[in-house]
């Protein structure tokens, strides 16, 4: 019981988020002929020269490093699309534009490995950096506005942005929850109250922190477990220590 609640919220490092981004599918144009590759995650191929195929990103990078393919940049990475997204980001104050979940990591990986495959590379790169700056500022301003609630809803946030604000927002929400309603929690058996409280809160937080929950990449039961361990400690605080 002593080690039940972990005060440190588990965080992903930036490299880990990048690792998870490499599972996305991307189109390549191979220049060799190869039989289908059978992996645990799926079968890819057969590879024929000049025929575009969809492969996961890590496979694309591996083939590119060996000089066996050319990576085709994804649809959303054209200059027109990015300029349009940037304009809309600057106009709308509260909402975020729809961008792929891992756009930061994918763009960085492409710049590192597939520089010659992207037309207007410098333009694209500066546009993406601008978009990212605008979005991060928007996140900060929207975090200022919420105060005193237990759930935050920010749709259309990308994985890297969520990773940046995750420890801060997690701890801040915990602190708000602790100070906000210490009196409303009934002093009953802690396990049952934690269960019912979590069950009541679960649908609300589920829709509330949609982006956060998805970005933490926890399956549903693990999320539930994390929720219980984090918040059960605050129910426990209400009982006097009996020796």
Partner 1 sequence: MANYYNIDDILAEEEFVPVVFHKAANGVIIDPSSETNSVEQGAKVELPLWLAQELYLRQAISISVPACFSQRTRLEIQADAACVDLKSRSQYFYEFGCKIAPLVGDKTIEILLLSAFKIRYKEILTKAYTAVFTTTSKFLTLLTKEETNLYEAAQASMAAFKKWRMGGPRLQRASVLGRKRKPLD
Closer of 96 and 177 to partner 1 (Cβ): 177
Examine residue 98 and tell whether it contacts partner 1 (CB under 8 A): no
Binding mask 136-155 toward partner 1 (x if CB under 8 A, else -) reads x---x--xx--xx-------
Examine residue 232 and tell whether it contacts partner 1 (CB under 8 A): yes
Closer of 29 and 185 to partner 1 (Cβ): 185
Residue with tokens 């990773």: 163
Q: How many CB atoms lie within 10 A of CB 42?
A: 10
Sheet holding 25-30, edge to edge: 53-56, 25-30, 69-72
* Of 168, 191, 195, 204, the one binding partner 1 by CB under 8 A: 168
Radius of gyration of the chain (CA): 23
Examine residue 2 and tell whether it contacts partner 1 (CB under 8 A): yes
Q: Residue 242: helix, strand or coil by DSSP?
A: coil
Q: Closest separation between CB of residue 99 and partner 1, Å?
A: 17
Closer of 187 and 220 to partner 1 (Cβ): 187
Residue with tokens 């060996």: 66
Q: Where are the alpha helices (DSSP H) in the chain?
A: 14-21, 57-65, 79-91, 103-113, 121-145, 159-180, 190-208, 210-216, 220-236
Examine residue 64 and tell whether it contacts partner 1 (CB under 8 A): no
Closer of 27 and 176 to partner 1 (Cβ): 176
Of 13-21, 26-34, 93-101, 206-214: span binding partner 1 (CB under 8 A): 13-21
Sign of CA dihedral 153, 157, 159, 161: negative
Q: Closest separation between CB of residue 168 and partner 1, Å?
A: 4
Interacting residues of 226 by C-beta distance below 8 A, sequence separation 6+:
10, 218
Q: Under the rule (CB under 8 A), what is the footprint of partner 1? A: 1-5, 7, 11, 13-15, 18, 108, 112, 136, 140, 143-144, 147-148, 160, 163-168, 171-172, 175-176, 178-180, 182-183, 190, 232-233, 236-241, 243
């Amino acid at each position: 019981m002593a080690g039940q609640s972990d005060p440190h919220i588990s965080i992903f490092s930036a490299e880990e988020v990048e690792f998870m981004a490499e599972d996305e599918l991307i189109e390549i144009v191979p220049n060799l002929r190869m039989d289908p590759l059978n992996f645990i995650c799926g079968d890819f191929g057969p590879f024929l020269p000049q025929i575009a195929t969809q492969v996961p990103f890590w496979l694309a990078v591996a083939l590119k490093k060996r000089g066996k393919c050319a990576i085709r940049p994804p649809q959303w990475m054209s200059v027109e699309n990015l300029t349009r997204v940037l304009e809309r980001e600057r106009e709308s104050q509260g909402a975020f534009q729809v961008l792929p979940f891992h756009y930061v990591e994918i763009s960085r990986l492409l710049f590192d490995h597939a520089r010659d495959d992207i037309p207007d590379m410098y333009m694209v790169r500066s546009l993406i950096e601008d978009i990212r700056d605008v979005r991060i500022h928007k996140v900060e301003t929207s975090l200022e506005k919420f105060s005193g609630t237990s759930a935050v809803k920010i749709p259309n946030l990308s994985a890297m942005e969520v990773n940046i604000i995750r420890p801060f927002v997690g701890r801040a929400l915990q602190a708000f929850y602790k100070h906000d309603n210490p009196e409303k929690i009934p002093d009953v058996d802690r396990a049952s109250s934690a269960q019912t409280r979590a069950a009541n809160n679960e649908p609300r937080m589920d829709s509330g922190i949609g982006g956060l929950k998805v970005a933490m990449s926890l399956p549903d039961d693990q999320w539930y477990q994390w929720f219980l361990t984090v918040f059960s400690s605050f129910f426990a605080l209400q009982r006097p220590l009996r020796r």
